[in-house]
């Protein structure tokens, strides 16, 4: 008998291991089907282009590094930089998006997994989520098969025509478990003592994430832990080349309190731009360019170089953009509100507002949009393009909200 795992609706809200054994003390599973853990990836002709957005609710991701349904977007960074927080925010934001979520913990401490499950329950996300766990003290064989088992559970829902999101937390520990297995089997070690087929193992796993032509999609967010910001190590270079883009979290930004600590210059989404809601494109093009210029100029400003007025304006605007992109965990923003705030930012409406008042200004714009622009919000959520008249309406709402805040 080939290794298999129970699949089906009965797994929603449950916590299981890589063999399908129940870990949450809520009784046995009533699954009627079992699917093999190892399955071939869909053929090329069965796949469709990534064309629908997966909205995370995180401004910096949805605006500058958009993710599409069926995409594989790597989240990488040093330990304790907020990688799991981004994945959890994304899961929690699917509460009204009809997306099934799978959280796969590989080699994590049991206390860390318990905190994740508690957070999902607190935000009512477990009703559409399956948690698959291989703890750090589990045998390496179980840690190795767990992400494959979680993917089979996800594929069941995908083949039902559903949209699915799977988070692998994290593939660094998965690679180490496979290295341990291979060394125990006396296979010849390769670079960094990893077996020579580790690239194939991860490619074979992540190629199962796709958008099917017949309907249904599987979006993968693999997480990877780097050491001392070394992106040139073996596993990081492998996964960057396998995936469709990466979100890089910088420990320097994290230490400065700029959360989420996404390094926009080192992050990219290769296919998500085609799936991004059309309204974002009207406001993010200029924002990306000005922010990239700011990051270059800020380096020179640190050396005390005398700067002309235009450069000082660019730096001032860039600092406001960076402040606006800050966002607390579990504080998701709907796309329409994101677009309104980013439109006001890109049009320099927030440049003269003190940094300590930016959060209040953002809240004022969002509140004004909810009360005065409900039809525009609905159009943006549907994916309608932002016309010049729509943009002017957004900016008028923002200006009115800001003037009320300043005068009030």
- Does the pLDDT at position 296 exceed 90? no
Domain C-terminal end among 253, 275, 297 = 275
CATH of the domain at 264: 3.40.50.300
Q: Are residues 49 and 177 located together in one domain of the fold?
A: yes
Name the catalytic one among 270, 281, 370, 399: 270
Q: Are residues 85 and 171 located together in one domain of the fold?
A: yes
Q: Are residues 266 and 283 located together in one domain of the fold?
A: no
The confidence band for 408, taking pLDDT boundaries of 50, 70 and 90, is low
220 DSSP β-pair partners: 72, 166
Task: Please state, for a pLDDT cut of 70, what percent of the chain lies above it.
Answer: 99
Domain of residue 202, residue span: 4-275
Q: Are residues 121 and 240 located together in one domain of the fold?
A: yes
Q: Residue 270 catalytic?
A: yes
- Does the pLDDT at position 303 exceed 80? no
User: CB-based contacts of 129: which residues, under 8 Å, 6+ apart?
Assistant: 12, 13, 91, 100, 101, 102, 103, 120
Domain C-terminal end among 257, 275, 293 = 275
Average pLDDT over residues 28-36: 92
Domain C-terminal end among 275, 305, 324 = 275
Report the number of distinct structural domains present in the chain: 2
- Does the pLDDT at position 304 exceed 70? no
Q: What gap in Å lies between CA 282 and CA 280, rounded to an integer?
A: 5
Beta strands in 255-391 (DSSP E): 268-269
Q: Are residues 298 and 166 located together in one domain of the fold?
A: no
Average pLDDT over residues 129-139: 96
What's residue 306's pLDDT?
77
Q: Are residues 292 and 215 located together in one domain of the fold?
A: no
Q: Tokens 């409900």 correspond to what residue?
A: 374
Q: Are residues 369 and 389 located together in one domain of the fold?
A: yes
CATH of the domain at 367: 1.20.150.20
What's residue 282's pLDDT?
87
Among 260, 263, 247, smallest CA distance to 328 is for 260
What's residue 25's pLDDT?
85
221 DSSP β-pair partners: 167
């Amino acid at each position: 008998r080939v290794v298999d795992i129970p699949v089906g609706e009965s797994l929603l809200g449950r916590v299981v291991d890589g063999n399908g054994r129940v870990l949450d003390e809520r009784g046995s599973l009533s699954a009627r089907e079992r699917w093999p853990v190892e399955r071939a990836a869909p053929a090329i002709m069965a796949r469709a282009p990534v064309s629908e957005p997966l909205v995370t609710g995180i401004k910096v991701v949805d605006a500058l590094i958009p993710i599409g349904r069926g995409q594989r977007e790597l989240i990488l960074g040093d330990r304790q930089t907020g990688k799991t927080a981004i994945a959890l925010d994304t899961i929690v934001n699917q509460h009204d998006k009809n997306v099934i979520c799978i959280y796969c913990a590989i080699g994590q401490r049991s206390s860390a997994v318990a905190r994740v499950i508690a957070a999902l329950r607190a935000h009512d996300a477990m009703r559409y989520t399956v948690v698959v766990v291989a703890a750090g003290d589990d045998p390496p064989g179980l840690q190795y098969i767990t992400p494959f088992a979680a993917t089979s559970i996800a594929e069941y829902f995908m083949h039902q025509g559903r949209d699915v999101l799977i988070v692998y937390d994290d593939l660094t520990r998965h690679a180490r478990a496979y290295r341990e297995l291979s060394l125990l089997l006396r296979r010849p070690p390769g670079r960094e003592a990893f077996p020579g087929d580790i690239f194939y193992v991860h490619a074979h796993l992540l190629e199962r994430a796709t958008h099917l032509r017949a309907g249904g999609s599987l979006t993968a967010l693999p997480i990877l832990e780097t050491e001392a910001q070394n992106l040139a190590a073996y596993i990081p270079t492998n996964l960057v080349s396998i995936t469709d883009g990466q979100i890089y979290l910088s420990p320097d930004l994290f230490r400065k309190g700029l959360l989420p600590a996404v390094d926009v210059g080192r992050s990219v989404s290769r296919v998500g731009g085609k799936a991004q809601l059309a309204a974002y494109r009207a406001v993010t093009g200029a924002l990306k360019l000005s922010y990239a210029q700011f990051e270059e100029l800020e380096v020179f400003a640190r050396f005390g170089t005398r700067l002309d007025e235009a450069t000082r304006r660019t730096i001032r605007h860039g600092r406001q953009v960076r402040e606006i992109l800050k966002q607390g965990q579990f504080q998701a923003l709907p796309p329409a509100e994101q677009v309104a705030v980013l439109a006001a930012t890109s049009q320099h409406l927030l440049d003269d507002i003190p940094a300590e008042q930016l959060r209040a200004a953002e809240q004022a714009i969002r509140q004004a949009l909810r009360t005065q622009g409900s039809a525009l919000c609905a159009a943006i959520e549907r994916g309608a393009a932002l016309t010049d008249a729509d943009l002017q309406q957004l900016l008028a709402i923002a200006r009115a909200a800001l003037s009320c805040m300043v005068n009030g």
